[in-house]
Amino acid sequence: MSFDPDALVAIDTHVHVEQDSQGCCALDQELLDASAKYFKGDDNRTPTVADLAAYYRERQIGAVVFTVDATTALGHPALSSEEIIDLVARHDDILIPFGSVDPLADDAAARVRSLVAHGAKGFKFHPSLQAFEPNDERYYPIYEAIAEAGAPTVFHTGQTGIGAGLPGGRGIKLRYSDPMLLDDVAADFPTLTVILAHPSVPWQDAAISMATHKANVYIDLSGWLPKYFPAQLVRAANGPLRRKVLFGSDYPVISPDRWIASFDDLEIKPEVRPLIMKQNAIDVLGLNGRD
């Protein structure tokens, strides 16, 4: 692999592929529109793998890219993780591919193993969007397969902009993204790296507690501009969690340019900034000494 962390200024651990090579989008138009309105973004809302590679290469920022397979819950076909992995192989100087499986599908664990064999370096789940309670033991075979592969796993936590402002939030239930549900998962799978995506509003204290208590739990800072971070998250990032928090933008809904500009104004200690922006990701993703 030609991915060279030393050549990069940062690693964005949370980036969405929103369109495939046939022009199909990860979400239907109503959800795309609601998300765009919620985040007030001004960038391309439906980037392809090639778009992301060009965008991040220009900035010398590495990016972990993925889609979310919520086929059963949304009734909308997911983008192909296999295609994403194949396309990322052409841009492996700047992109790292994660896979996604539909937890409600009977073959989800087998899909994990297949995607690992295909080249997935980790996995992404969105419990609210995928309509599953992540600590239900019926999903444990999925985590067993991921743990066997030694792959990190990102779980959306807290509020979501998907469905925001729509009647009933389009049926998307926030309670599935309470990070405390993942405490069971992290405890029962101690070799599984669990990354709690986003400031976990309204459950921020729970996320901080988990990351403090369990060596295998981390927090990515995506989905919110840093100026809006809860005060307790900033304190934890500056102190006990300085090695446990990761830069993530949630692009395309928040651009890394906007995120970094806001982060520059945040009261983060100088010695902590490089940990958050790159070094912690190198450690969590196992990029030290990688070919």
Q: Where are the domains of the chain?
A: 5-284
Tokens of 126: 């969105």
Tokens of 229: 């971070």
What tokens were used for 38?
């919620």
Secondary structure (DSSP) of 192-250: S-EEEES--TT-HHHHHHHHHH-TTEEEE-TTS-GGGS-HHHHHHHHTTTTTTEE----
Looking at residue 285, its amino acid is: L
Question: What does the chain come to in residues?
Answer: 291
How far apart, in Å, are the Cα atoms of 170 and each of 12, 101, 158? Answer: 29, 21, 17
- Model pLDDT, residue 118: 98
Query: Where is 132: in which H helix or E strand?
Result: none
Cα–Cα nearest to 61, from 7, 99, 98 = 7
Distance CA 249, CA 91 (A): 20
Question: Can you identify the CATH homologous superfamily of domain 5-284?
Answer: Metal-dependent hydrolases (3.20.20.140)
pLDDT score of 43: 61
Residue with tokens 């899909």: 111
Coil, helix or strand for 253? coil
Structure tokens at 206: 């729970």
- Interaxial angle between packed helices 231-238 and 204-213, expressed in degrees from 0 to 180 and rounded to the nearest 10: 20
Distance, in Å, from the CA atom of 269 to the CA atom of 280, rounded to the nearest integer, reads 15
Q: Which residue in 1, 2, 6, 3 sits closest to 278, CA to CA?
A: 6
Burial status of residue 51 (CB atoms within 10 A of its CB: 0-12, 13-18, 19 or more): middle
Amino acid at 78: A
Cα–Cα dist 197/45, whole Å: 20
Which tokens belong to 197?
A: 């995506």
- Could you read off the pLDDT tens digit of each residue along the chain, which spans 291 residues? 588 999 999 999 999 999 888 888 888 888 877 777 777 765 677 889 999 999 999 999 999 999 999 999 999 999 999 999 999 999 999 999 999 999 999 999 999 999 999 999 999 999 999 999 999 999 999 999 999 999 999 999 999 989 889 999 999 999 999 999 999 999 999 999 999 999 999 999 999 999 999 999 999 999 999 999 999 999 999 999 999 999 999 999 999 999 999 999 999 999 999 999 999 999 999 998 644
84/125 Cα distance (integer angstroms): 16
How many angstroms from the chain centroid is the CA of residue 239? Answer: 23
Looking at residue 64, its amino acid is V
| Residue 2 near residue 92, CB atoms below 8 Å | yes
